[in-house]
Every structure is written in structure tokens, then in C-alpha cells.
């Protein structure tokens, strides 16, 4: 068990009814070469998920709610429980190379807002066994990039939180909302998860991209992303895309306000009105 006074990285596994897959996520988290706190947050599972998680004993911090409040609040609760300065979301159908966290933490510094890895998508039912194992002697390649150069990528796509290491304090700013004040759209936690990895590109000078795939995403019929993208339900797909669009608009507007110092201008005007009011009273 990791000494809680020495925790630097927390791996967060939000889960719901994934007893078929969650062993991969937990085992890959525990097998990291860099010692991490592992938190599994389970909101409302009715299958064997609880039994599996409890079998790990004090190797993990297992948090359970009998009521399913949805993935957003499951993710938020796991962040609030994290003791580490940095967090990594390992979703319950994904898994990592043993050196993923060690590689990411060694590339982090005060000017780097996010370290993220290329990923592979693996069909959990048809993939050969070697897709569930890792080459221990990988030549891991990466590059430091000016964050602004990656912004066009995230404005059209997504860096999955399950492929990234970010600061806990940054993730919390993004997760303390189900939607935001500029959009009405919400779809299964989509939006805030995009902000977790997009926002650091707007706040920090650099990011680091690991071009060697160190993450594998499980593809199956109940994956939220795959379900939406492969759906023949036009309304479901529209809501999925609209949730991302709302998050993008929010980040653009809030970044403009932040960089243009509108808040400072407002305080100056507010102070001016206060002085005028005081003068009139006299």
C-alpha cells in the first residue's frame, strides 16, 4: 500500500457494472513502476464489481455508492478523494503500460500542463492475448510541444483523460459542473471530461506528447463513446456532439475573458462607481 504522506500521483477508476473488464484497469494501475494511489469509485454497480474490488483489500481505495449518480459525479468524487498532486483517469475498460505513470511524471514540470500518450483501441472480445500484454523494453519516444500548437487538435477532437496525466487542481476546476452557463447540453459526463485535458493547453506554456502508445482503450458494445459514435440514433449522436461543442464554447469564452483582463477592468469600474456613490453621500 502506498504511503499516503508520499503520494504524488493518484490513479482514478470510475466504474459502473464493468465486472468483465475492471481487473485489467486495476491490475495495470497496481503494476505501475511509479508508486501510485489507486482509487476505484463505484456508483451503483449491481453486478460483481463490488466483490472484485473488495478482493484487492487495502491495495486500492474502494469507494462505493449504492445509487448511480452518473459518470460525472463518480469522476468528481474520485478526484475529491485523491491525495496526489497529479491524477490519471484509467477508465474501467482501459489499461496502461507499466511505465506510463513513471514516464509522464518525469516529463512534468511547472511549465507543462499535461502529458499525454498515443493510444491503441482493442476489441475486448476478439483481440489476441498479446494485446493485453506489454513489451517491457519499449523505446518510449516523446516530444515537448508549445501548447498553443495542440489547441486546433482539441478544438476538433479530444485528448482522453485516460491517456493523460494532469494536475488535480486543474481537473477540479473542470469537473465542478455538470454542464456550464453557456450551454444546455449534457450527455453522460461528456464536456467536463474534454475540459480536463483541453484547459491545460490554454493555461500552460508546454505540453508533452508521448508518440509511443502506452495506453489501450477497450472497445465493446457498452462503451459510452463507441455507443454514441456507432449509434443509428441521430438524436443520441447529436446530444453527444453538442455536449462537446458546449464545452468548447465555454473554454473559448472563459479564456478570452481571462486573457483580455476583463475582470480587472470590471473591478476598476466597480471601484469608480463606489467612489462616485461615496462622493454623492457626502
pLDDT given at position 1: 52
Q: Which domain holds residue 237?
A: 4-281
pLDDT given at position 264: 73
pLDDT given at position 59: 97
Signed CA dihedral, 76, 80, 81, 82: sign only:
positive
pLDDT given at position 136: 84
Q: What is the CATH number of the domain that holds 74?
A: 3.90.550.10
The total of structural domains in the chain comes to: 1
pLDDT tens for the chain, 282 residues: list them. Answer: 555 456 799 999 999 999 999 999 999 999 999 999 999 999 999 999 999 999 999 999 999 999 988 888 899 999 999 999 999 999 999 999 999 999 999 999 999 999 999 999 998 888 777 778 898 888 999 999 999 999 999 888 889 999 999 999 999 888 765 444 444 544 344 567 788 999 999 999 999 999 999 999 988 766 655 555 555 666 665 666 666 676 677 776 777 766 777 767 777 777 887 777 666 555
Distance CA 199, CA 173 (A): 9
Amino acid at each position: 500500500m502506498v504511503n499516503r504522506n508520499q503520494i504524488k500521483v493518484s490513479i482514478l477508476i470510475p466504474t459502473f457494472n464493468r465486472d468483465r473488464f475492471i481487473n485489467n484497469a486495476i491490475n495495470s494501475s497496481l503494476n505501475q513502476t511509479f508508486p501510485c494511489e489507486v482509487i476505484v469509485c463505484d456508483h451503483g454497480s449491481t453486478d460483481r464489481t463490488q466483490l472484485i474490488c473488495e478482493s484487492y483489500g487495502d491495495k486500492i481505495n474502494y469507494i462505493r455508492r449504492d445509487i448511480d449518480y452518473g459518470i460525472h459525479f463518480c469522476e468528481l468524487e474520485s478526484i475529491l478523494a485523491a491525495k496526489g498532486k497529479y491524477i490519471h483517469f484509467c477508465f474501467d475498460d482501459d489499461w496502461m503500460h507499466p511505465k506510463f505513470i513513471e514516464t509522464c511524471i518525469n516529463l512534468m514540470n511547472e511549465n507543462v500542463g499535461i502529458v499525454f500518450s498515443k493510444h491503441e483501441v482493442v476489441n475486448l472480445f476478439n483481440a489476441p492475448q498479446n494485446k493485453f500484454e506489454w513489451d517491457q523494453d519499449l523505446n518510449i519516444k516523446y516530444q515537448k510541444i508549445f501548447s498553443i500548437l495542440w489547441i486546433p487538435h482539441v478544438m476538433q477532437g479530444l485528448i482522453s483523460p485516460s491517456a493523460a496525466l494532469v494536475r488535480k487542481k486543474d481537473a477540479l476546476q473542470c469537473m465542478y459542473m455538470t454542464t456550464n452557463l453557456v450551454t444546455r447540453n449534457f450527455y453522460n459526463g461528456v464536456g467536463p471530461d474534454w475540459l480536463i485535458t483541453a484547459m491545460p493547453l490554454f493555461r500552460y506554456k508546454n505540453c508533452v506528447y508521448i508518440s509511443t502508445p502506452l495506453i489501450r482503450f477497450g472497445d465493446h458494445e457498452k462503451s459510452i463513446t463507441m455507443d454514441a459514435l456507432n449509434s443509428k440514433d441521430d438524436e443520441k449522436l447529436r446530444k453527444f456532439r453538442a455536449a462537446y461543442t458546449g464545452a468548447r464554447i465555454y473554454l473559448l469564452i472563459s479564456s478570452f475573458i481571462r486573457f483580455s483582463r476583463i475582470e480587472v477592468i470590471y473591478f476598476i469600474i466597480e471601484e469608480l462607481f463606489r467612489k462616485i456613490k461615496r462622493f454623492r453621500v457626502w
